[in-house]
Amino acid sequence: MLKGVSVNSLELFINLAKNISLLLAIAFIFEFIRPRLRQLPPLSQQVLQGVVFGVFGLLIMLSPTRISDDFMIDGRSVIVAIAGAFGGGIPVVLAGIIMGSLRVAMGGGGVVAGLIGIATAAGLGYGFRLLRLRYGTPVTMRSLLILGLLTATAISILILAAAGPVLARAVVLPYFAIVPTGIMLLGWLLMYQQRQFEMEEALRDSEERYRSVITTMTEGVIVHDSNGIVTTCNASAERILGIKADHMIGSSLDDLRNWQIFNQDGSPVSENDIPPTIVLRTGLAPAETVMGFSKPDGSVCWVLINSRPLMKPTCDMPYAVVTTLTDMTQYISAQEALTGERDLLRTLIDSTPDYIFIKDAAGRFVISNEAHAKAVNLETDMLVGRTAFDMFPAELAEQFHADDLELIENGQPLFNLERTTIDSKGKQKTVLTTKVPLKGRDGQITGLVGISRDITERKLLERQTLELKAERERLRVIQRFIGDISHDFRTPLSIINNSLYLLGKVTDDERRLAQAEKIGAQVSRMDDMLDDLLRMEYLSREDTPLALKPMDINVLVLGVMTAYESVAMQKQHQLRLKADEDIPILMIDDEQVQQALASIVENAMHYTPPNGNIDIVTSLYDNEARIEVRDNGVGIADDDLPHIFEYFYRADEARSTRTGRSGLGLAIAKRIVESHGGKIEVESTLEAGSCFRIVLPLTTQRETALQRSIV
């Protein structure tokens, strides 16, 4: 019996080994079927997997090994355990139903044990799957071995219970050898197939992603093989080059000679200088190469080319080249337009004689035109980065820098600043400068733009024009002076001449005395006129000294009033004084100020009728001493008022002639007051009177624009 068992065990081992071979063959068939299953929906995939596992189980069960009339064993437990472990719930159920149905159909006393065996192997396989998914553990050979041993143990126990110990001893050794081995081999093959499939899927997904990226890229992509043949290109490459893909794919680098490729300077590009050719020839990767292409429609496109080699680990030379094309046509066109505009602007600013410059916030020159650079005796490039302190004397540079700081701090343009500068020879120049702030995109001031115009010749012309105008005015004054002085001297000379004639004719002593008195009066008049002329000439000198000394202005005014009291009485004028005692002592030339006041008082007396009033008022106002002479005389017409301080001007020519006045009194008074740093103001209403106001500053020394010296 033992011998028979031994023989039966060997036969059983051989038969089970054949089942394992069949299982391996089934595994390779499953590898062929699985990719097609992946194309179906998930539920359909699980159903078909169950059917496939069931059919494979049927094939195994059709060649069983019988160990008795009622019992048979085969590799179905391996199939159903693998279906549970790798397929899941639906596949293992379907596979179990299919194989169980066949076992029922085959009949015999071992049907129940066979169905229990199928269910046990299915439960162990599915339990293996659940544990693996729950704990996230990968499938390993060790875990497959454990599953195989558990399955073999469960089936052996089932055979022991159903068929008895004799059959169990005959089955247990080959079963424990074949079932774990079959589960390990079939599981490993399925696991390997699964991993291969996942890698292929990942590779396909990756290829699809890269293909999608390449397709949607705005840059053109062209791939050459090791022979320079174009194997693929994207739509952007077609758009950029204007060549369809079917014309590019299959073309070689030799065909590029017909594409009319040229450099930025217009020179043609040789075949050896094309980036893909360089890569295939040297293995090096040229980058950022700009070339022009003539499209089939005759237009030109500019392309930025980057070529990279595709290398295999065991090779030194590339097996393919990937070239990317970036359309630079608009950029190059814009750059050329910008360059043209820049050159045009540069020509414009260099051709203007005005000084044009740009400074940064630190006062450094950034741009300068040729006129400005020439003015400082530097080349335009050498001027960049320098400041005003590097090129001008300190006092000039300080003024320029102060203007810059004011503009940058306030943010307001500076217009028509008249500034002094020097040219390349050190000669002083006058420029009219305008500076405006230069702002960045954020609105912050980053510098300034300046334009300076040389107005030296214009200023010279203006000065010459003013001098000519002044000379003409002097000529007009001289002509008027000659006319007035001739008129003023002719009248007394005529009277003297007539008096001398009558003096020779008359014999009466009384009449002769009267004529002599007329002659004396006219001589005195001429003498006064000459004195006024000499005084006016004296005061007109720029270096006329003033005899300054402390003086009480009220005392000076009282002296003038005393001198003219008798005259006022003769003319029946009321001469009155209103003095302000708070006026401090002034440093003045008392004789000249007295002369100026006397001229104004005398003028008031001449133009005030009898019984009129002449008031002299002194006052202190706004750090000034004032002397006002008010009368209620005939007044001055509005047309005459602007001219009353001119030499020889007379508002009433006839009356002036009768009074014998020279017309220099008010002009002399104005000159004296101005020499003291003061001024004369006048207010008048015709037929109502006038008010002359002498205004003197409260200074203890002469510090006026004229800077007269103290005698």
Q: What is the pLDDT of residues 466-521, one digit of tens each?
A: 888 877 877 776 666 666 666 666 666 767 776 676 667 777 777 777 777 777 77
Q: Does 263 lie in the same domain as 232?
A: yes
Beta-sheet strand order (sheet of 365-368): 365-368, 355-360, 445-454, 428-439, 414-422
Q: Does 184 lie in the same domain as 237?
A: no
pLDDT > 60? residue 88: yes
* Domain span at 667: 545-706
Dihedral pair phi/psi, residue 430, rounded to 5°: -115, 130
pLDDT for the residue 5: 38
Q: Does 159 lie in the same domain as 25?
A: yes
Alpha-carbon span 471 to 173, nearest angstrom:
144
pLDDT for the residue 700: 40
366 located within any domain: no
Of 531 and 302, which is predicted with more confidence?
Answer: 302
Q: Does 164 lie in the same domain as 261?
A: no
The pLDDT tens digits of the residues spanning 594-652 come to 888 988 998 899 889 999 999 999 999 888 999 999 999 999 888 888 878 876 666 55
Domain count, the chain: 3
Residues 6+ apart with CB under 8 A from 322: 221, 222, 223, 307, 308, 310
pLDDT > 80? residue 73: no
679 located within any domain: yes
pLDDT > 90? residue 437: yes
Could you give the percent of the chain with pLDDT greater than 90?
18
pLDDT for the residue 632: 93
20 located within any domain: yes
451 located within any domain: no
77 located within any domain: yes
Which of 308, 335, 362 is the endpoint of a domain?
Answer: 335
Which of 199, 233, 253 is the endpoint of a domain?
Answer: 199
Q: Does 659 lie in the same domain as 559?
A: yes
Q: What is the CATH number of the domain that holds 25?
A: 1.10.1760.20
The number of residues making up the chain comes to 711
Q: What is the CATH number of the domain that holds 276?
A: 3.30.450.20
Alpha-carbon span 7 to 241, nearest angstrom:
81
pLDDT > 50? residue 656: no
Q: Does 283 lie in the same domain as 138?
A: no
Within 13 A of 167's CA, how many CA atoms are on the CB side? 20
Q: Does 136 lie in the same domain as 59?
A: yes
* pLDDT, the chain, mean: 81
Q: Does 674 lie in the same domain as 629?
A: yes
pTM of the predicted protein model: 0.43
Which of the four pLDDT bands, split at 50, 70 and 90, describes residue 17? low
Q: Does 195 lie in the same domain as 291?
A: no
- Range with lowest mean pLDDT among 180-189, 200-209, 368-377, 491-500: 491-500
Alpha-carbon span 79 to 181, nearest angstrom:
12
Q: Does 680 lie in the same domain as 565?
A: yes
Q: Does 268 lie in the same domain as 174?
A: no
Of 153 and 501, which is predicted with more confidence?
Answer: 153
Dihedral pair phi/psi, residue 582, rounded to 5°: -85, -5
488 located within any domain: no
Ordered DSSP codes for 609-660: -TT-EEEEEEEEETTEEEEEEEE-SS---TTTGGGTTSTT--SSHHHHHHHT
92 located within any domain: yes
Of 648 and 202, which is predicted with more confidence?
Answer: 202
Count Cβ atoms within 10 A of the Cβ of residue 226 and give its class: 0-12 exposed, 13-18 middle, 19 or more buried.
middle
The pLDDT tens digits of the residues spanning 330-369 come to 888 888 888 888 888 888 888 888 999 999 999 999 988 8
Q: Does 37 lie in the same domain as 180?
A: yes
pLDDT for the residue 442: 87
Which of 310, 335, 360 is the endpoint of a domain?
Answer: 335
563 located within any domain: yes
